[in-house]
Amino acid sequence: RKEVEQDPGPFNVPEGATVAFNCTYSNSASQSFFWYRQDCRKEPKLLMSVYSSGNEDGRFTAQLNRASQYISLLIRDSKLSDSATYLCVVNTGSNSGYALNFGKGTSLLVTP
């Protein structure tokens, strides 16, 4: 079983739509959680860290459910510029806490 699993998509949504991405992780000892965004042929960029209480940054809301080992990202009022691959990333705390486990990414295409 993969450590971090995501629906690969692609998700094709019209501008203005709300879209939700889900992610599950297998290691219950995981300590920290992130969503990264990666544009084609570019580096991953940190979108949000995901905290136990949930957190919001503008149109983006991240939730963590430790009991279900589940992380979500909600994007409201989608923009064309939101088109990218969204990577769910988990730090299991192994390897001295440095190693991140990446999901395979969910592809989002926002259309006019």
Q: Which is nearer to another protein, 19 or 87 (CB)?
A: 87
Q: How many residues bind another protein (CB under 8 A)?
A: 22
Q: How far is the CB of 77 from another protein (least distance, A)?
A: 26
Q: How far is the CB of 112 from another protein (least distance, A)?
A: 25
Q: How far is the CB of 32 from another protein (least distance, A)?
A: 5
Does residue number 53 form part of the binding site for another protein (CB under 8 A)? no
What pairing do the DSSP bridges indicate for beta strands 106-111 and 11-14? parallel
Q: How far is CA 100 from the centre of its chain?
A: 13
Long-range contacts of 93-99 (CB under 8 A, 24+ apart): 93/29, 93/30, 93/31, 93/32, 97/31
Q: Which of 45, 59, 66, 79 binds another protein (CB under 8 A)?
A: 45
For residue 60, how many C-alpha atoms fall within 13 Å in the half-sphere facing its CB? 16
Q: Which is nearer to another protein, 31 or 65 (CB)?
A: 31
